[in-house]
Amino acid sequence: MKLKHLLIVFFFLAAYSHTAFSQSRDSMINIYNMNTIHRLGFRFIKGDQTLYFHDLQREFSTPYTLGLYQKARRKLIVGRIFNLASLGVFVYSLFHINSVRNSIEYAVGTGVLGYAGSAFQASSNKYVDQALWERNRGVLFGNNPPN
């Protein structure tokens, strides 16, 4: 008789612990789906929202992630300036071709400025990806930014 009651209690506790685990797993999946931010090209996805780079500033709450975002923003601005200068040199070269030497110099200038712009934008992407990773880690596992 005691064995029968002991088995019933054991199965009841086993079933209870399984449902509790299932609920915590479901809530973790819900937090992951609705609160983490993922990159999709030049856009960012948070749940069912589409965010752009300038929208991310309000998403970073710790000084570390906000600093990474601001560094990424500065590098992105410098990269865009270089790309815009590259475009300006290209347009200028179309209207002011005096000789072959000048056109080669313009082409080299355009290439160097474009390369510098893409290097700054790649660096910006690296910093914003790191900031997003730290933010998502904080959302999923609690805020504990590195020093």
pLDDT tens for 67-107 read 999 999 999 999 999 999 999 988 888 887 776 667 788 88
Q: pTM of the entire structure? A: 0.73
Confidence of residue 135 (pLDDT cuts 50, 70, 90): very high
Alpha-carbon gap, residue 116 to 37, rounded angstroms: 28
Name the nearest CA neighbour of 67 among 138, 142, 128, 143. Answer: 128
pLDDT tens string 116-127: 999 999 999 999
